[in-house]
Structure 1
Amino acid sequence: MVDTSERTIRRVACIGGGTIGASWAACFMARGLDVTIADPAPGAADAARRIIDGAWVALERLGLAPGASPDRWRFYSDPVAATDGVDFVQESAPERYEIKLDLLRRLSAALERDVIIASSSSGLLISRLQEACNYPERCVIGHPFNPPHIVPLVEVVGGLKSARWAVDAAMNFYRAIGKHPIEIRKEVPGHLANRLQAALWREAIHLVAEGVATVADVDAAISEGPGLRWALMGPHLTFHLAGGTGGMAHYMEHLAPAMTGWWPHLGSPTLTPELQRRIIDGLTEETRGRSVEELARRRDEFLIRVLEARRQVDPPPVDEPGPSDVPSAD
């Protein structure tokens, strides 16, 4: 077993410089770390620079660590070269087993055995990805939510061969850079948050398919209602409050039977071409000509304001690592 207690993380390799990888890179640099970015795609360096520059505006508002700079990165087309001398690897290659397996095989052969490899995969199983790796015990999932430089959540998943020290070190590292890591204790496709999203979207599509509501009204049913509460607390705590002074015990006894009675009527729609077109047309009507870029800017501004408001309502405990703490794997 390898102990990472003596490895302080100062330099991170971001393998993949697209939307997720470059956003991760910006996040790491905002915490005062040095970063290497590797991506073989033509024009990838310029694309990464645009993403980093755009992310830095938000990161400045959220707070930078001493020494933070958007220029603390070097670019490589060769992913193996980008890992020379790094202390942590964040892999964000395309979501396909064959691509990641080949990549992880090459990376793991070049890295020291106590350097953690964290995959940003949104739903692949780390146990399968470990099959290609030297020292598979140091491989974990470190799945962010888009955009990684803003959204705090990181899902950490260990596989069949992951060592306890690797999971703990990944959790400590993400926590030290100001993220909110959660450990997924059993491997399932899609991890945790994406499965919850998938369940909600399935019912949202079913309601559109059945003519219950328009695409815009289904979206409003979340954004103008429970989604506002979910920015502060999850479904269990939300229903705990719904139980009044009796909390969840009262909810379970008096309100849960009605909700569980709806479960058999929840839908399992087939996403036919016709239904896909209805969803797309509905979104065209809902967005009223606003571009994806404009909507993303609006989303990011809202997320930043929500995070700023949450800090005022519920500041982090003083004994927990804050955004300015020196990140390490100890």
Structure 2
Amino acid sequence: MEKLTIGIVGFGVIGQRWTACFAHAGHDVRVYDPTERRADTFHEVLPALLTDLDALKGPSSAPGAVHLFPTLAETLDGVDFVQENGPEDLQLKRRLLAEIEGHVGDAVIIASSSSALLVSDMQAECRLPGRIVLGHPFNPAHLMPLVEIVGGKATDAQAITRARAVYEAIGKKPVTLNREVTGHIALRLMGAMWREAIALVRDGVASVEDVDRAFMYGPGPKWTLQGSFISNSLNADGIEDFLRKYGPTYQAIWDTLLDARLDSETVRAISASTNAAVGDRGQEELKAAREAGLVGVLRTVAERGAL
């Protein structure tokens, strides 16, 4: 893909990481954020994020230039693609997307990083709603390859195709949803598993440490490399044989899955068990370990992953 000029609207945690991704891939990035400390944050966090990407992908041969601008109009002057990262507030998103439209050409795709809102709702006040798409990253967004793409009721199919090409060109692994659902794909999968995990801890079946350990050293590594369907198909003579052989077992599990409500009692039980698992390790220590570990894991997935 040719070199692009990317507009980043919102320089919070997600916007910072998108900026690093696009710049590391060689695209020029123009950044806008209304907060007072935007310049300090800009200079404090970006070098470390680019260093992470160097560790994961190797040093960029020709990184793009990154500039911070004081107004939205200046930021979006001449951009080819916009990644919006505003707060998860529907009314704000509607106003912001409509405002962005006033500063970009009609052919420019506008992608939102929203994790929970529906594109059909966000694009309601746009002059050209067909170019509005969801481009939802996975945290930490500069390292994790996943981007979930979906359009709203008024989105043009071509806009989704073009957005996917942009993300693929910077080394992401996009997935496209054929219709909108709350939470998209990954959060729904996580939500289903985590509901059962919480219920198992709440009901005293196992501790947080052992529930997490069961996943980390059980399906986690295999599913990381091959996903659930391909991985399970290797436990039999293909997926159809697996479903015939082990389908009754899974059906029995599904029929007895537990429910979880985050009432005060459940929150207390989960918090106590999680704090016990964490011990005296601090948040920053655990985050640093996670992101350093991800580099090795993602390198292996890039070399050996099935999809």
Asked if Structure 1 and Structure 2 have the same fold, meaning a TM-score greater than 0.5 normalized by the shorter chain, the answer is: yes
Q: Is the 8 A contact 1:9 1:87 kept in 2?
A: no
Task: Report what 2:160 is aligned to.
Answer: 167
2:209 & 2:74 partners in 1: Cα distance? 47
Q: Is the 8 A contact 1:174 1:180 kept in 2?
A: yes
Shift of 1:77: 4.1
User: 1:139 and 2:132 equivalent?
Assistant: yes
Task: Report what 1:111 is aligned to.
Answer: 104
User: 1:45 and 2:39 equivalent?
Assistant: yes
Q: Is the 8 A contact 1:18 1:48 kept in 2?
A: no
User: 1:217 and 2:210 equivalent?
Assistant: yes
RMSD between aligned residues? 1.7
Shift of 1:8: 5.1
User: 1:251 and 2:204 equivalent?
Assistant: no
Task: Report what 1:284 is aligned to.
Answer: 275
TM-score (norm. length: structure 1)? 0.88
Task: Report what 1:326 is aligned to.
Answer: none
Q: Is the 8 A contact 2:151 2:160 kept in 1?
A: yes
> What amino acid sits opposite 2:291 in the alignment?
D
Where does structure 1 differ by over 6 angstroms across 4 or more consecutive aligned residues?
A: none
What secondary structure, in the 3-state scheme, does the structure 1 residue paired with 2:238 have?
helix
> What amino acid sits opposite 2:133 in the alignment?
V
User: 1:56 and 2:50 equivalent?
Assistant: yes
> What amino acid sits opposite 2:180 in the alignment?
E
What secondary structure, in the 3-state scheme, does the structure 1 residue paired with 2:102 have?
helix
Candidates 63, 69, 92, aligned match of 1:68: 63
Q: Is the 8 A contact 1:94 1:100 kept in 2?
A: yes
Q: Is the 8 A contact 1:136 1:162 kept in 2?
A: yes
Matched residue pairs, number? Answer: 306
Show structure 1 runs of 5+ residues with no match. Answer: 1-6, 317-330
What secondary structure, in the 3-state scheme, does the structure 1 residue paired with 2:144 have?
coil
1:33 & 1:131 partners in 2: Cα distance? 30
Instruction: Output one character per residue of 1:230-252: Cα deviation in whole Å (capped at 9) or x when no partner.
Output: 22111111211122xx1111111
1:247 & 1:159 partners in 2: Cα distance? 36
2:306 & 2:265 partners in 1: Cα distance? 47
Shift of 1:207: 0.6
Task: Report what 1:3 is aligned to.
Answer: none
User: 1:127 and 2:131 equivalent?
Assistant: no
Candidates 234, 240, 246, aligned match of 1:241: 234
What secondary structure, in the 3-state scheme, does the structure 2 residue paired with 1:242 have?
coil
> What amino acid sits opposite 1:19 in the alignment?
V
2:282 & 2:200 partners in 1: Cα distance? 26
Task: Report what 2:9 is aligned to.
Answer: 15
User: 1:88 and 2:81 equivalent?
Assistant: yes
User: 1:27 and 2:21 equivalent?
Assistant: yes
1:203 & 1:51 partners in 2: Cα distance? 36
Shift of 1:9: 5.3
**Cα distance change of structure 1 residues 26 and 97 upon mapping to structure 2, 3 Å threshold:** same
Instruction: Output one character per residue of 1:236-294: Cα deviation in whole Å (capped at 9) or x when no partner.
Output: 11211122xx1111111111111111112112211111211222222221111222221
Q: Report which structure shows greater RCO (CA 8 Å, sep ≥6).
A: 1
Shift of 1:156: 0.7
Q: Is the 8 A contact 2:32 2:70 kept in 1?
A: yes
1:165-244 pair list within 5 angstroms: 165-243=158-236
1:111 & 1:272 partners in 2: Cα distance? 46
Shift of 1:120: 0.5
Shift of 1:307: 1.8
2:283 & 2:92 partners in 1: Cα distance? 28
